């Protein structure tokens, strides 16, 4: 049964992803209630109703489930128990079992390995086993990643040997971790797809991603990688969704090695930063698609209007003053998106801009020119 416009939808999470979901839902005629613990949440300030509470607050969850027909999430670090509680009263998408796998690197790696998906060699390191566990020396140099609550390069450190591993684990205060072997990467791509309750599947054009200090910097669409790799990655993302029996928006991040081997880095059960280009460049954005999957509607077309390059705007640009937005807005094919965050901190995602063009190469050139001028203005101000 479809949820039609006019209904109240619920959202757990009040950041920029939640803000863009809320705005997409409202443009389609829905109302949105946001639950988030921060009084200054960007999504909460544009929502029809805002509940300021912890995600595990039973009273708040009861209020949310009593007033909303369907509920979704902004990010994966929501307790699976909270989602199970909500699912007793209304539609929840994605469901708790899928989120529980994606929110824990150990569970995620074991799921992918058990189902035969290609991933980098890894070892699970639990806090109770550190002293006695044998580590395969082939895993060095490697990246040690905390199992839960790591994002944008946080909770990750490079280790070259067992001594550095023990020191890194001590700094992580005994958290369970995954050690992944460092491999020669040629590029990184991401596949964002949607799967409805009727098993309908749509895949967005694949994005090629560049990171800086672990944070996504630039996404380029279409990706400049062989068509065979794009096809393989898209098919693999769909297969993961089917193995999970996943409903909703799913992002799968991939590594492409120097020898063209394709490996899965991680999965995210939600819209993704690398999919922000879809707002301006696709018939249907990833956020409208999230609304459609939650409400049981037919999925929208994922066709590109044009090539696109998305650039993240981090809080570093606000160190001395508000950036000069003329540098972005003077370009007629550039779209600026600011997230309404009150405070700018280094590394904090404050917004993004997307450059559209018939050619990805030309769009990239314009996008990098804009970025260069913004950085020059920052340096002049300092």
Residue 61's CATH number? 3.40.50.20
d(CA 319, CA 314): 10
Q: Are 281 and 204 in the same domain?
A: yes
d(CA 355, CA 368): 10
- Give me the pLDDT at residue 129, please: 62
Number of Cβ within a 10 Å radius of residue 315: 16
The tokens 């094919």 sit on which residue? 333
Q: Which of 24, 31, 26 is nearest to 10 (CA)?
A: 31
The tokens 């981090």 sit on which residue? 314
- Give me the pLDDT at residue 173, please: 79
Q: Are 341 and 327 in the same domain?
A: yes
Q: What sign has the CA pseudo-torsion 60, 17, 197, 114?
A: negative
CATH of the domain at 282: 3.30.470.20
Provide the number of structural domains found in the chain. 3
Return the ∠ at Cα 58 (arms to 49 and 18), rounded to 5°.
40
Q: Left (φ > 0), alpha (ψ -120 to 50) or beta: where does 154 sit?
A: beta
- Give me the pLDDT at residue 170, please: 86
Q: Are 292 and 191 in the same domain?
A: yes
Do 207 and 152 meet the contact criterion of CB atoms below 8 Å apart?
Answer: no
Burial (Cβ within 10 Å: 0-12, 13-18, ≥19) of residue 305: exposed
Residue 105, domain member (yes or no): no
Rg of the chain, C-alpha, whole Å? 21
Q: Are 236 and 376 in the same domain?
A: yes
Residue 101, domain member (yes or no): no
Residue 115, domain member (yes or no): no
Going from the first residue of the chain to its last (382 residues), give the mean pLDDT of each consecutive group of 10, the final group possibly shorter. 96 98 98 97 98 97 97 94 96 97 96 98 80 79 89 82 89 89 96 98 98 95 97 98 98 97 97 98 98 98 98 95 95 98 95 98 98 89 62
- Give me the pLDDT at residue 3, please: 98
d(CA 333, CA 350): 21
Q: Are 189 and 154 in the same domain?
A: no
Residue 364, domain member (yes or no): yes
Kindly list the strands in the beta sheet with 177-181, ordered across the sheet, starting from the edge strand earlier in the chain. 122-125, 177-181, 142-146, 156-159
Residue 18, domain member (yes or no): yes
Domain of residue 159, residue span: 121-181
- Give me the pLDDT at residue 204, please: 98
d(CA 316, CA 59): 38
Q: Which of 310, 374, 356 is nearest to 20 (CA)?
A: 310
Two tokens, residue 24? 């997409």
Q: Are 174 and 197 in the same domain?
A: no
Q: Contacts for 181-185 with beta carbons within 8 Å, 24 or more apart?
A: 181/120, 181/121, 181/122, 181/138, 181/139, 181/140, 181/141, 181/142, 182/141, 182/142, 182/143, 182/158, 183/120, 183/255, 183/257, 183/263, 184/257, 184/258, 185/255, 185/256, 185/257, 185/258
Q: Are 175 and 270 in the same domain?
A: no
- Give me the pLDDT at residue 126, please: 83
Residue 114, domain member (yes or no): no
d(CA 40, CA 345): 15
Alpha helix (H) ranges present in the chain? 16-27, 58-67, 80-87, 96-102, 105-114, 162-171, 227-244, 278-281, 286-295, 326-329, 360-381
Residue 108, domain member (yes or no): no
Q: Are 170 and 221 in the same domain?
A: no
Three-state DSSP class for 380? helix
For residue 151, the cross-strand partners are none
Q: Are 207 and 72 in the same domain?
A: no
Q: Are 254 and 225 in the same domain?
A: yes
pTM across the whole model? 0.96
Q: Are 173 and 190 in the same domain?
A: no
Q: What sign has the CA pseudo-torsion 284, 288, 293, 296?
A: negative
- Give me the pLDDT at residue 333, please: 97
CATH of the domain at 131: 3.30.1490.20
Residue 107, domain member (yes or no): no
Q: Are 141 and 63 in the same domain?
A: no
- Give me the pLDDT at residue 378, please: 81
């Amino acid at each position: 049964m479809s949820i039609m416009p006019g209904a109240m939808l619920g959202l757990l999470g009040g950041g920029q992803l939640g803000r863009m979901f809320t705005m997409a839902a409202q443009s389609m005629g829905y109302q949105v209630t946001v639950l988030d613990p921060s009084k200054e949440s960007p999504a909460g300030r544009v929502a029809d109703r805002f509940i300021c509470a912890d995600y595990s607050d039973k009273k708040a969850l009861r209020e949310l489930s009593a007033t909303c027909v369907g509920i979704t999430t902004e990010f994966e670090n929501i307790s699976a128990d909270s989602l199970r509680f909500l699912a007793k009263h209304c539609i929840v998408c994605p469901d708790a079992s899928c989120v529980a796998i994606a929110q824990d690197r150990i569970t995620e790696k074991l799921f992918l390995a058990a189902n035969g998906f290609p991933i980098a060699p890894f070892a699970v390191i639990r806090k109770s086993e550190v002293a006695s566990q044998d580590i395969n020396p082939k895993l060095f140099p490697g990246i040690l990643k905390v199992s839960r609550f790591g994002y944008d390069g946080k909770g990750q450190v490079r280790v070259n040997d067992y001594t550095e591993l023990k020191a890194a684990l001590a700094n992580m205060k005994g958290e369970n971790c995954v050690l992944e072997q460092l491999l020669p990467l040629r590029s990184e791509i991401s596949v964002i797809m949607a799967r409805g309750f009727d098993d309908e599947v749509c895949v967005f054009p694949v994005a090629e991603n560049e990171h800086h200090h672990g944070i996504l910097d630039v996404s380029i669409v279409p990706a400049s990688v062989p068509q065979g790799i794009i096809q393989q990655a898209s098919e693999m993302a769909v297969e993961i969704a089917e193995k999970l029996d996943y409903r909703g928006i799913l992002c799968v991040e991939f590594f492409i090695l120097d020898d063209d081997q394709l490996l899965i880095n991680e999965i995210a059960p939600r819209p993704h930063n690398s999919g922000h280009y879809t707002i301006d460049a696709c018939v249907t954005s990833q956020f409208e698609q999230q609304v459609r999957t939650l409400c049981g509607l037919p999925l929208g077309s994922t066709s590109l209007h044009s090539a696109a390059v998305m650039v993240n705007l981090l809080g570093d640009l606000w160190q001395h003053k508000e950036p000069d937005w003329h540098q972005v807005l003077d370009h007629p094919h550039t779209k600026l998106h600011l997230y309404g965050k009150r405070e700018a901190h280094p590394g904090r995602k404050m917004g993004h801009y997307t450059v559209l063009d018939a050619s990805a190469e030309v769009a990239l050139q314009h996008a990098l020119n804009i970025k260069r001028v913004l950085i020059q203005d920052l340096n002049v101000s300092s």
